[in-house]
Each structure stands twice: as structure tokens, then as C-alpha cells.
Structure 1
Amino acid sequence: MGANAAVLSLKNNMLNGSLPYSLASLQTLRVLCLSSNFLSGEVPDLRNLTNLQVLDLEDNYFGPHFPSMPSKLVTLVLRKNKFRLGIQTALGSCYQLQKLDISLNGFVGPFLSSWLSLPSIKYLDIAENKLTGLLFKNMTCNSELAFVNLSSNLLSGDLPTCLKRDSKSRVVLYSGNCLVNEDQKQHPSYLCHNEALAVRIPPPSEEKHRRTYGKHVVASSAVGGIVGAIAVVGLAFMAAKKFYSEQTTKTPQTRLISDTVSAVNTAKLLSDAKYISDTMKLGASLPAYRTFALEELQEATHNFDDSTLLGEGSHGQIYRGKLPDGTFVAIRGLKMRKRQSPQVYTHLLEQISKLRHSHLVSALGHCLECHPDDSGVSRVFLIFEFVPNGTLRGCISEGPPGRKLTWLQRIIAAIGVAKGIQFLHTGIVPGVKSNNLRIKNVLLDHDLHVKISSYNLPLLAESRGTMGTTVSSPAPKGSIQPRASHECKNDVYDIGVILLEIILGRPIMFQNEVGVLKDLLQVSLTTDDTGRRSIVDPAVHKECSDESLKTMMEICVRCLSKEPTDRPSVDDILWNLQFAAQVQDSVREDYLSHQGSPVSSSQQV
């Protein structure tokens, strides 16, 4: 991993073992997401990661000590681990912390009322721990606090009055404690008192007595220990065998909140999850890549009937097909200029089989059509998943107004595009660069999930009779750069053009428009909020926050720099887009309440 990396996301894998202490040296890291793995042991001291804003360790086996963290965290998720000791009081100094989730652990000790009034806190979940403490009605809360879950702890006293207000805009869960006179189910007060004693830290005198007693039992335990060790070894072997068999079948599940929470708040939590990068999330829901028989494709397309033709371009024809199980697919036929044996294409097809990602229209398989005379390959068919719901352009700069994406949905779509390009660059070796990215080739599925449909497949250069790559951005005269780096920056430029269309809401058809519109954005960044909004798509200019808009404009201008070396990395783009989404979501509910609409950011348009 590069020393200047900003995002490290390895969620939903089968990683095990402990974290290396060298992790603490990645001082440029802004997002660290390791959720849903089998990682264990103590978390390294992360206090030196002063730029870290998102730390997500959910659903692992970390513990037992609470990790040492930097003070600028915005999101901290330790949910569903093996933490079971006290919580650092330094948590109260995290003034930028918006989301804190330490639920489903075994934390003991006092619940600090200051957590409710942290300057930026919006989401607090401490459910299913053993936290003690006496709550009072006059405790203070942050007015922006939208979700609080205190359930299944050892809390007593009265629920703070500030948690009872604005019930329509705030979810508060507190069942399974010992609070008085509340409508959510509580335990008797003695239960919290007794359990609190059971988990308390013993005083020094008790600890000394315990050690003295331990000396007496060591000698008498030695003989029994030898005999018992034989049985323990056998049991350990059986337990290990069971554990590793469960590892292979474990499906990581991320429980968001209690089943009693409404669907609206569940949608909010799902949108919160978008802030955390999932760079390496593959298309796990796709069927396994396989080889198709030509007869299967003929049957799926009625022998490549014209009625199934979706389009024709420089790379061949694309047909819509229907497999016997009812699955629709897109079939791209590539005519090979040179007839070569099937073995020549083995390496290229192996690369294509690895291009499976949630933000790519991924290949499901291939078929080789061989010439009957010399058995040389005359056509290669690539079978892709079929995405029928139009293009990103159709939901931004074309189509009816009622179908246009909201500002937050546009940012999330841009995040998807950047993640798809990031995977093409780094998800396989060698990476796929200079993808000639166009907004009309970015498709949307039923859930408005973006998928890049056209990228620089290894076979495309072969079908053109050249192994060169496409170049979509203007290269400065006389520039000499490493080829791979320059090709990556071409894709960054293309992302900038897409961002330009997302912001302005008008189709960009010609290259000479880009420079003019980029200058317009650059000038607007020096004006006030009103001046910036005046050039934004009228469909969204009222709903976008100024901070979110400025972030989008700034990263767009940087992407469109004439000098490739001045353009940001894809990781840098991702971080800025995720930040823009985060600050926008903080004002989304206010905007929707003013409009009188309960629509969530995940709703289709």
C-alpha cells in the first residue's frame, strides 16, 4: 500500500489475524474500513493518524481494550467485536465526532453523559454492553442528535428530558435498562445494581488477596493440570476444527439497529454507510464466470435477430439475449482481424473474468467462434450483465424533470463512477487504464446504482488490430511522463467532465465546451453562495449545501487541469466526493422538511 494512501477499505473479506503495528505509520490515511472480517487482537495505537476521519472495525474479534484514536474522527464504528473493558475518557475530546457506534460488545464502566452533548454528534449507539450510570432529567443533548440507542445496558435513573423532545425527528431506544417510569420495557432496579457490582474493578486490597490465594492453589493444581492438559489438547483440536469450518461458511451480517426502528431511519443509516469507502467491493451477487456455447447465444438472441440488436459501434455489435433461466444479458460480438488459435486469447479472457465489481457492468462469460477451415478464432463473444434503466445523463441533463436525480443522489452516483475506475486501475494486474469514460456509458439499475458499461477491455485493442490505448483528454505539448501514470490521469480528466455535467445539469457534447465551463466554475468559486448557485442545475440548486457544492466544484476543476500531473488521484477524488455527500446529508432532512416531503436519498426517481 502506498505511503500517501488516503483510503484503505478491506471490508467483507475473509481476513484473519491481527493488525500490523505499521498501520499507525500511514499518516495520510483518512478512511480505514475493515468491517466484516475475522480480524482479532488489540488495535494498534492510531493516535498519530491525525488525518483519520472514518474508522470502521464492525463485525470482527478485536479487543479487549478500547483502541487509542486520533481526535479528529468523524465516524467511529466498533460494533460487534470483543471489546470488554472500560472506554477511554479521551472520547469526550473528539469534537468532530458525528457517529459513534460501540454496540454489541462487553464494555463496562460508566456511561458518560458528555457523549450526548458532543459538539457534532448525530448518531450514538451503545446498545448491548454493560455500561452503568445514573441518568438525570436535566442532562443536555446536542440538538442535532438524530439517533440514540441506549438499550440493554445497566443504566438507571430518569431518561433525560432532551431525549424526549422532537420525537418525530429523533429516534431514542432505551429498553433493557433500569430506568424509572418509562414506556419502553425496563428491568427491576436491583438487577442493574447487582450486575454492576459483578463487573466492577476490584479495589487493591481485594486484588492482593486474590494473588495470595493464587499461590496456594498453584501447587495443588499442578498434578491435575498435567492430566487435564491431555484432554484439553483433544478438545482444542476439535474446537479448532469446528471454528475453521465455521469460518468458511460464515456470511458477515451487519445489523444496523433494533427491529423496532422505522424504515425511514433504516434508510438514513444505509445512506450513512455510503460515507465509508468500499473500494474493493466485488460483484459478489453475479453468477460464476463461465464459457458459453455458441448455440446458447443463438438461442438467447433468436439467432442474432435484428430485433435483439442493441447497438453497433467500432468494437462490434451488441445484442440483448435471454438465457433459459430468464436472465437478460448483453452480448458483445468482436470480430478478430487476425485468425489465431484459442490459446492466444486465454490470458486476455482471464483478465476479463476478473473485472467483476459492483460499479462495472461485469462480464459473465465468453464464447469463441472458430473458423471451420483452420480452427482460428474469427469472433469473440463477451456476455455481460444487462442493465436496462437508462444512463446517468438521462437522469441529469436529459429526460423529464421528474426523473432527475437529487443533489445527494448525484454525488453518490459520482462516488460509484470513481469506485469503478479505482477498481479498474488497481483491482487487477495489470490495471485497465485510459477507459474513455463517458457519462452516456454510465448506466443505472433499479436502485439507482451506477455501473460503467464501456471500459478498455483487454480484447478491444486486439479486435482493432492494435495494442494501443485510447486517449480522451488533451495531453500538453512536449510532456514526457510515465505511460501508466498518464493513462490514469486520462480517466481522472473524464471523471471531471462527468462531474461538470452533474453540477451544471446540461449535456456536454464537444471538447471545446469543457475549458469554457471549467473557467466558469473556477470563477464561481471566488464568488459568494448566491453566485455559485446561479450556474448550478436549476433542478437541484436550492437543495445543495454551499460546502458540498464548493467541494464538488473544487475537485471538478482539479480533475480538468491541463497538466496531468496537476490532476488528483482517484483516491483523492473519492475522499472529496464522500466528504461532499457527508456534509450534504447533514442538511438533507432540513431541506426535505421545508419542501414537505418525506423522500429519502435512497428512493428511486
Structure 2
Amino acid sequence: MAFCPVFCFGKRLDRNQRGKKQPTWRIFSLKELHSATNNFNYDNKLGEGAFGSVYWGQLWDGSQIAVKRLKVWSNKAEMEFGVEVEILARVRHDNLLSLRGYCAEGQERLIVYDYMANLSLLSHLHGQHSSECLLDWNRRMNIAIGSAEGIAYLHHHATPHIIHRDIKASNVLLDSDFKARVADFGFAKFIPDGATHVTTRVKGTLGYLAPEYAMLGKASESCDVYSFGILLLELASGKKPLEKLNATTKRTITDWALPLACERKFSDLADPRINGKYAEEEFKRVVFVALICAQSQPEKRPTMLEVLELLKGEAKDKVAALENHELFNGPKPGEYNDGLSVAEDSPDFISEDKDGNKEVKEEIASENTHRNA
């Protein structure tokens, strides 16, 4: 089956893009990528997921690349491959992972990206780099703002607007300077002008899914905002989105964090690995923003532009109003019951196209195979 060029996936170049110089990417040969990755050698493997594997490679000019290789060809895999290539070819932002090119020969489907020397945020919070304490508060704050910049670009500046649908720690990659790059657009969707949401099959990762999306399949920019709120809490606290309390029960990070935020116990919320070395006002702001993003009612969540403004502390009046938000001044200390946990058969634990129950364990294990090139 011949592969259709990038812009044949049902979209054409926008009128305002015609005549403008497009981002640089190219078509790679399979032979070239075999050579770059030492024939996709196991020692070059950076990670593995439901889609296939990612390999480190080096081109003839010495530049380093990451190559995503689809595991098995299928119509579904072809579609996700096409969506990701098209979106990456259409957009370019400092906080989005850059497309170097792709390869489509026979049934081989490969996407070539810039190599990110510091792997993913997941590896630093829960994986192979978690004990090295490489993320001080300043880096965490820059990662939060950088990720928000990338997502805000997708929601508000890309044409048509794009929802990511899989915002999570493993999809925030870090370059050699720990600059955040949002990655993995295989689940992304274009939002037509004037549409408030699209109804679609649920895809994503347990712990990050907005309730209206998990239960009804309603995907919107607000779903990404919810996922970003979870990511912010994870970044600030070092905790996973879902915490196993016992054999049958897990607790969401919001159920753990909200009572502490209401009681203003921010030192209990902070990741112990930063040893209390954080800017208190910034930390408080990140926690408050995270929790208003992760509200269950989508209409109460801010837009990513508002999130960005709050994180940067640019609108002093809005920042000051955060602490008086109804979310943080409802239940009084001691009024929370012990039932803030959720059972594993609740709607938060639905089955998905990506095996969310195994995902964190598999991604951490796969990243442990990485060779520090």
C-alpha cells in the first residue's frame, strides 16, 4: 500500500499558510534509519508502548534523532501514524516536539524526531532518574510553564485548533537544558471552527482522563486542561496520578491534594526530594491552578491561555483571587471523610486503547533500557 503524502489526511494547508515557508522536515529511507539505529538494535531502544518502540539514532552528519517504529501495521496504526505526522508537520513551537521526518516503505511506518537528552518527565518523577533529584523547583516551574505554552499553542493558535488527548508525564520530554517539549500526537484531534467538542472513542491514560471524556467520550480543549491539572499536581508533589491504598482501592491525586490545599498545608504537598527549597508563592500558585484545572465540571475549568497567565503570575488580581476560589473555601478542616478514595471498578478505571493499568510500570521499565548516548 502506497503511503499518502503528509497533507493528504483529509486536511490541506490553511490559506494563511500558503506561500509561507513551511517547517523543515523530510522523508527518510528505511536504509538510512537502519544505519542510524544500528538496525534498530536493542541497546538503542529508548522506550516501548502499545504503538511500538522508540530508538536512539545518529545520522551521518552526527545529529542525534529518536525514531518511533510502529510494531505492527494495521489500518488503525496507519491512521494514528498519519495523524501524528500531519499535526507535527503543520505546527511548530519551541515547546512541541519537532518533526524531523518520516519513513513509509512497504509496511514499515517510522516517525523521526529530535532526540531529547533528558528523556521524559516521567523518568525524573517516577523512573530511572527519580533518585538523582535533577528537578529542582526552578526547573519544575519552567517545565510547567513550557508545557502550558505548548498546549496553549495547540488550543488557541494552531489552525484548526488541536486537542492532544494524552497529556501526561511520559509525553512531556526534556531536552539537554530541561526545556519541556510536549510529544506524542497519535491521539490528537482537530477541532472544527465553532465546535465545542468532538465525540469520539475514549483514548488516553488512566488518572489523567477528564470525567466527561471518560464516561461520555466528549473530547474538548477542556479535557486537556484537566489532564494538565493532574500533571501540575504530579510535578509539584512527586506523586503518581493514582495511588494504590490497598488491594482493591486507589486514590486520585486530587482527592489527596484538595484537603491539604484547603487547609493550606503546602509543605505536606511538596515533593520531599526538593527539601523545602521552593518559592512559596509560586508553589501555592501551581497547586491552586492545578486544582481548578482538574475540577470535575468542565465549564468551571480555565482555558490554557488563562492557565498560562496564572502560572506566570502576570495578572496580579487574578492570582490574588485564586486563594479565595470557592473550591478552596468550602469544606472546613476535619470535614473530609476517609472515603476520598475510589474503587478500581469506578468510572475512573475504564478500559482504554492504551493499557492504562500497566502503562506507568511499562514506561518506567522501558526507559530503564535507555543508553545514555
Does the 8 Å CA contact 1:434/1:471 hold for their aligned counterparts?
no
2-side partners of 1:490 and 1:565: how far apart?
A: 11
Q: Report whether the alignment pairs 1:562 with 2:296.
A: yes
Task: Output the amino acid matched with 2:305.
Answer: D
Provide closer, same or farther for how the CA distance between residues 312 and 491 of structure 1 changes in structure 2, counting only shifts above 3 A.
Answer: same
Aligned equivalent of 2:141: 411
Change (3 A) 1:469 1:526: closer
2:185 maps to 1:455: yes
1:447-483 CA distance string (max 9 Å, x none)? 1111223233669xxxxxxx856244142499889x5
Unaligned runs of 5+ residues in structure 1 are: 1-283, 371-377, 460-466, 583-605
Partner of 2:44: 308
Question: How much has 1:326 moved relative to structure 2?
Answer: 0.8
Residue 525 of structure 1, aligned match among 261, 276, 284 = 261
| Paired position in structure 2 for 1:495 | 228
The one-letter code matched in structure 2 to 1:312 is E
Partner AA of 2:148 in structure 1: A
2:282 is matched with 548
Percent of aligned positions that are identical: 25
**1:305: how far off?**
3.1
State the alpha-carbon separation in 2 of the partners of residues 520 and 307 from structure 1: 39
The residue type paired with residue 74 of structure 2 is R
Whether the aligned pair in 2 keeps the contact of 1:311 and 1:318 (CA below 8 Å) is yes
Q: Distance in 1 between matches of 2:211 and 2:178?
A: 34
- 1:381 partnered with 2:107: no
Alpha carbons 1:411, 1:580 under 8 Å: kept: no
**Partner AA of 1:383 in structure 2:** V
Task: Establish whether residue 337 from structure 1 lines up as the match of residue 46 from structure 2.
Answer: no
Task: Tell me the TM-score normalised to structure 1 length.
Answer: 0.40
Opposite residue 522 of structure 1, the aligned amino acid is L
Report the AA paired with residue 492 of structure 1. V
- From 327, 331, 356, the equivalent of 2:63 is 327
8 A contact 2:23–2:92 mirrored in 1 = no
**Residues 411 and 581, structure 1, Cα contact 8 Å, conserved in 2:** no
Deviations 1:204-232 (A, max 9, x none): xxxxxxxxxxxxxxxxxxxxxxxxxxxxx
Letter in 2 for 1:390: L
1:504 maps to what in 2? 237
Instruction: Compute the displacement of 1:385 (Å).
Output: 0.8
- Cross-structure match for 2:93: 357
Q: CA deviation at 1:299?
A: 1.7
Q: CA deviation at 1:548?
A: 2.1
Alpha carbons of structure 1 residues 505 and 574: separation in structure 2 relative to 1, 3 Å: same
> Which residue, 172, 175, 192 being the options, matches 1:445?
175
* Alpha-carbon shift at residue 500 of structure 1 (Å): 1.2
- Secondary structure of the equivalent of 2:69? strand
Residues 79-133 of structure 1 deviation map (CA, whole Å, 9 limit, x = unaligned): xxxxxxxxxxxxxxxxxxxxxxxxxxxxxxxxxxxxxxxxxxxxxxxxxxxxxxx
CA displacement at 1:518 relative to structure 2: 2.0
**Deviations for 1:125-159, whole angstroms, at most 9, x for unmatched residues?**
xxxxxxxxxxxxxxxxxxxxxxxxxxxxxxxxxxx
Within 2, Cα distance between the matches of 1:391 and 1:550?
25
Task: Report the 3-state secondary structure (helix = DSSP H, G, I; strand = E; otherwise coil) of the residue aligned with 2:135.
Answer: coil
1:390: which partner in 2?
119
CA apart distance, 1:311: 3.0
Asked which structure has the greater CA Rg, the reply is 1
Letter aligned with residue 575 of structure 1 = E
Question: How far apart are residue 563 of structure 1 and its match?
Answer: 1.7
In structure 2, relative to structure 1, the CA distance for the partners of 1:553 and 1:309 (3 Å cut) is closer
Structure 1 residues 533 and 581: alpha-carbon distance in aligned structure 2, compared to 1, 3 A threshold? farther
- Contact in 2 for aligned 1:391/1:440 (Cα 8 Å): yes
Q: Once the 2 structures are TM-superposed, how far is the Cα of residue 505 of structure 1 from its aligned partner?
A: 2.2
Kindly indicate whether the alpha-carbon contact (under 8 Å) linking 1:422 and 1:570 is maintained by their aligned counterparts in 2.
Answer: yes
Contact 1:397 1:501 in 2 (8 A): no
- 2:113 partner SS: strand
DSSP-derived class of the 1:470 partner = coil
| SS in structure 1 of the partner of residue 108 of structure 2 | strand
Q: Check 1:519–1:458 CA distance in 2 against 1; reply closer, same or farther (3 A cut).
A: closer
- The number of residue pairs the alignment matches comes to 278
Cα distance, 1:521 vs structure 2 = 2.9
Partner of 1:36: none
CA distance in 2, matches of 1:508, 1:488: 20
Instruction: Name the CA distance, whole Å, in 2 between partners of 1:294 and 1:574.
Output: 41
AA matched with 1:389: N
Give the conservation status (yes or no) of the 8 Å contact 1:551–1:580: no
Return the offset for 1:365: 0.7
Distance 1:354 1:393, change over 3 A: same
Q: Which runs of 5+ in 2 are unaligned?
A: 1-20, 190-199, 317-373
Distance 1:520 1:541, change over 3 A: farther
Shift of the alpha carbon at 1:539?
3.5
Q: Report the 3-state secondary structure (helix = DSSP H, G, I; strand = E; otherwise coil) of the residue aligned with 2:203.
A: coil
Judge conservation of contact 1:404–1:539 (CA < 8 Å) in 2: no
Q: 2:84·2:186 contact (CA, 8 Å) conserved in 1?
A: no
- Give the structure-2-normalised TM-score: 0.63
Structure-1 residue corresponding to 2:35:
299
Task: Find the aligned partners of 2:210 and 2:149 in 1 and give their Cα distance.
Answer: 23
What corresponds to 1:159 in structure 2?
none
Q: Residue 323 of structure 1: CA displacement?
A: 0.7
Structure 1 residues 404 and 514: CA distance shift in structure 2, 3 A: farther
Partner SS, residue 161 of structure 2: coil
SS in 2 for 1:357: coil
Give the letter aligned to residue 269 of structure 2: I
Report SS of the residue matched to 1:421: helix
Contact 1:408 1:581 in 2 (8 A): no
Q: Measured at CA, do residues 513 and 546 of structure 1 come closer, stay the same or move farther in structure 2, by a change above 3 Å?
A: farther
Whether the 8 Å contact between 2:64 and 2:115 is mirrored in structure 1 is: yes
> Is the 8 Å Cα contact of residues 505 and 537 (structure 1) preserved in structure 2?
yes
Q: Deviations over 1:500-522 (max 9, x none)?
A: 1222223345597563x424433
Alignment of 1:4-83 (within 5 A): none
Shift of 1:424: 2.6
- Closer, same or farther: CA 426–295 of 1 in aligned 2, 3 Å: farther
> Which sits farther off after the overlay, 398-407 or 295-304?
398-407
Alignment match of 2:158 (pick from 428, 433, 436) = 428
CA distance in 2, matches of 1:510, 1:522: 15
Distance in 2 (CA, whole Å) between partners of 1:314 and 1:365 is 21
Q: Which amino acid aligns with 1:563?
A: Q
